[in-house]
Structure 1
Amino acid sequence: MANVVILVLIIGLASGWLYLLTTLAPSIEKEKEVVLQFPNSLAELKEIAETLKTYYEKNYVYVLLLFCSAYLYKQSFMIPGSALLNLLAGALFGSMLALPIVCILTAIGASVCFLISKNFGKEILEKYFPNQILSLQRKVQSNSHRLLYFLLFLRIFPVTPNWFINVASPIAGVPLHLFFLTVLVGLLPYNLVCVQAGEVLTSLTTLSDLLSPSMLLTLSLGATLFLVPTIISRDRHEHGS
């Protein structure tokens, strides 16, 4: 019961902070007032991006703080739609600045999700996802001597959904420092594609435009590069044993 109260308090404080930031938005003259909220479509994203660009010209610190807070909120509480925020980052900051911002925020937010799961979600996950948890535990144990490469491969080539890896990793025995590092590096190719697409946001018509053949090829090649050291490490381990 105490854990539930603490978790509700954490969510409440985070939600209150985000709401407070939206009420502090600078006043601007627009024909159509845009409500600052999480975008659910490309059309909403384009409207919000236009508004935030105007804010950015007047108060870039506010826009950066609002964006970082919103991104961490989504990542920490597993709210879908981070791809839209990656696009927004590219549109607002340009890919050179947006890429390190979203990579760091992704790693921090996923780590917060990791800690929430570790402290509040173990019983729920083991109740509703017992087979998936057991499968990941076995994979972590069998890849313990090459865990860094294994986790990177999972991130770059996401056969297992990222949200599940985030919540299941602490239960499967993944150390937090390796978790943070592999999120930071492993999602870099995907984040790069998103922020670059955000720079030309107006030309996007659907989110499926992100999953172009060139992007899929890039991600596949990246996953393969991380798989090679894993294969080499496995061979050495087998020959050495």
Structure 2
Amino acid sequence: MRSLVGLVIVVTVASLYLYYLSLYLPAPPRRRPPSGATTTTEHAEGKESGHLGDTPEETSRLKFPSDLEELRELAELLQFYKTEHTGYVLLLFCSAYLYKQSFAIPGSSFLNILAGAIFGPYEGLLLACVLTTVGSTMCYLLSQAFGKHYIMNLFPEKVSMLQQKVEDNRDCLFFFLLFLRFFPMTPNWFLNMSAPIINIPITFFFCSVFIGLLPYNFICVQTGVMLSEVPSLDDLFSWERLLQLLAIACVALLPSALIRRFSQGHLRLGVRSQNGVATDEKAQ
């Protein structure tokens, strides 16, 4: 009961922090008026549109995106703010990302895409990798502090199965963790929460998340870069863009192929019972 109260307090404090961070927006930069416009026109446009973010409609756009259209609108809004409030946009993005990762909330792929759209291919990829790793580690620590008992009660069979596979691959644990990230046999959120329960060292966990999710983050960030470049969502699915995505996917899958090749001779990925005799099954 004490652990549940502690978790509720942590979630409440983090939620209030994120809410107030998104509520009190800094003064947005002014839109540049069209060239040749008169002072009267500028004044009229100022009355009609005002500053971006001055209206409740603009403020309400600061929410977690649930589809590509909302993602595109949010990217445009934050790109506009970033021109004069880079620090605020960076703080807001990092806080939202860590909130999702720490509490195992689905939808981090949208934030990876948003990172590419706002910060570009290199800074966006670095941000996505660092935030994914830090957020997953925070989820690990929260589970270790508050969630062990509840996870064991809610998912006893899954925890037991994962524990057995970890013990079978204890001699090459780091590569086994990489394999789980490249070829998820269990969802990432569950692996993050169950890792402290099945005695995975936090150093192995940290490094395996950073390296193992790099291809996935790379694909998402590059998609976000393309999303920020196309004039409409329909253009995102043109043959040129689809070929670019295919090339990106091929590059990202190279590390996965290397890990897969290594796993064929070293990792034990399943234990099946045949006529009452346990037999190890290696990756095929």
Normalising to structure 1: TM-score of the pair? Answer: 0.88
Which has the larger displacement, 195-204 or 173-182? Answer: 195-204
Partner SS state of residue 195, structure 2: helix
Question: What residue is the counterpart of 2:218 in the other structure?
Answer: 192
Q: Structure 1: which amino acid aligns with 2:125? A: L
Question: What residue is the counterpart of 1:21 in the other structure?
Answer: 21
Which has the larger displacement, 135-144 or 213-222? Answer: 213-222
In the TM superposition, what is the alpha-carbon distance from 1:45 to its structure 2 partner? 0.9
Q: What aligned pairs does 1:104-119 form with structure 2 within 5 A after superposition?
A: 104-119=130-145
Which structure carries more relative contact order (alpha carbon 8 Å, separation 6+)? 1
Question: Contact 2:219/2:252 (CA < 8 Å) preserved in 1?
Answer: no
Partner SS state of residue 197, structure 2: helix
Partner SS state of residue 153, structure 2: helix
Q: Structure 2: which amino acid aligns with 1:227? A: R
CA deviations 1:188-225 (Å, max 9, x no partner) are 01101111110111465699x8xx66566555542231
CA deviations 1:38-59 (Å, max 9, x no partner) are 1111111111111101110011
In the TM superposition, what is the alpha-carbon distance from 1:135 to its structure 2 partner? 0.7
Question: What residue is the counterpart of 1:8 in the other structure?
Answer: 8
The CA distance in 1 between the partners of 2:259 and 2:151, in whole Å, is: 29
Structure (1 or 2) with the greater helix fraction: 1
Question: What residue is the counterpart of 2:184 in the other structure?
Answer: 158
Larger-gyration structure (1/2)? 2
Identity within the alignment, %: 45
Question: What residue is the counterpart of 2:202 in the other structure?
Answer: 176
Question: Contact 2:178/2:211 (CA < 8 Å) preserved in 1?
Answer: yes
**Alignment length, in residue pairs?**
233
CA gap 1:219/1:142 in 2 versus in 1, 3 angstroms: farther
Which has the larger displacement, 27-36 or 81-90? Answer: 27-36
Q: Structure 1: which amino acid aligns with 2:80? A: T
The CA distance in 1 between the partners of 2:22 and 2:69, in whole Å, is: 20
Unaligned runs of 5+ in 1: 236-241
CA gap 1:133/1:204 in 2 versus in 1, 3 angstroms: farther
In the TM superposition, what is the alpha-carbon distance from 1:134 to its structure 2 partner? 0.7
In the TM superposition, what is the alpha-carbon distance from 1:8 to its structure 2 partner? 1.2
The CA distance in 2 between the partners of 1:170 and 1:204, in whole Å, is: 42
Q: Structure 2: which amino acid aligns with 1:161? A: P
Structure (1 or 2) with the greater strand fraction: 2
Q: Structure 1: which amino acid aligns with 2:160? A: L
Question: What residue is the counterpart of 1:33 in the other structure?
Answer: 58
2:259 to 217, 226, 237: 226
